[in-house]
Amino acid sequence: MRHRVFAFQHEHRHTLREARELARHAGMLSVILAWVAHDLGEGDLVQAYCDDAWAQGEQADLPEVGAWAEDVRSTHALYDSRPLDALLAATRGLAVAPRDGNAAVRLSAQVARAHARLGNHHEFERAAVRARDYQAQLPLHGTGLFGVDAVRITSYDASSYGWLGHANRARAAAEEAIGHYRGFPRPLQAPTRLAIAQLDLAQAHSALGEPDAAVATARQALTSGRLVDSVRGRAQQLDRTLQRRYPQAHAVTEFAEELKVLLAV
């Protein structure tokens, strides 16, 4: 599809209005492809598609396209252990996102969790206030790749509190997010987001001295059937944390072996 749009842009005559519309579609298709590349762990492709989306958005005079590209770029950087790059991308996207639009909501939450990953307690709290102001006005269930919903922000809080060392708050947020995700009607289910929330809960159990509960929760996360790169990476982080904290625990040793086999497939 992206190649067909390219062909229309460069091999056919069209009006200025049609050119802008083609650029908009091309940019949003590149954003979608960037998400696919993120799920596959193809970092170079993520950057290439995001760059293309920015360029197409400029041609279309629609900066929102670039804002959506930065949403992907921020997410990928965060899962790639580059929180400063995640913060820069989210800030850059927020600067051009239409006020109070879906991209602005998503990027506000991205700024907050990037600060949390960097250990910036004060900046996280400030950014989280803005995200939660949006949250109060959002539907519980979101639809589509470019939708927004209240549970996403709760799930981001679970990750953020874990990174900031607030294990009890992380556990509460993760349990709330998991409860909502499990209650989603089938067309709205989000298996990747559920798995991430479960792994956040597992990290909270680990921090609270509950290795058996951490392993049990992590096993649930890994049965989602969508072992995308972000889920695999979070599971590996949990495994390292568990082995460091509880090297003698039988459940931890078993989980390490199970994960090794699972990720080798």
Residue 141 C-alpha from the chain's centroid: 16
Q: Domain extents for the chain?
A: 165-265
**Token digits of residue 221:** 């996360």
From start to end of the chain, where are the E strands? none
Greatest alpha-carbon pair distance for the chain in Å reads: 69
Contact 171, 205 (CB under 8 A): yes
Average pLDDT over residues 64-90: 98
Place of tokens 């392993």: 215
Q: Is the pLDDT at 5 greater than 60, yes or no? A: no
Res 170: pLDDT: 99
The pLDDT confidence band at residue 111, using thresholds 50, 70 and 90, is very high
Kindly report the average pLDDT of the chain as a whole number: 93
CA 2 to chain centre: 23
Cα–Cα dist 218/144, whole Å: 26
User: Looking at this protein, which amino acid is placed at residue 155?
Assistant: S
Pairwise CA distance, residues 30 & 220, whole Å: 33
pLDDT at 174: 99
pLDDT in tens, 170-226: 999 999 999 999 998 877 789 999 999 999 999 999 999 999 999 999 999 999 878
| Mean pLDDT, range 221-250, rounded to an integer | 95
Q: Return the pLDDT at 17.
A: 66
Identify which has the larger pLDDT, 235 or 5.
235
Query: Using the 8-state DSSP alphabet, how is residue 157 labeled?
Result: H
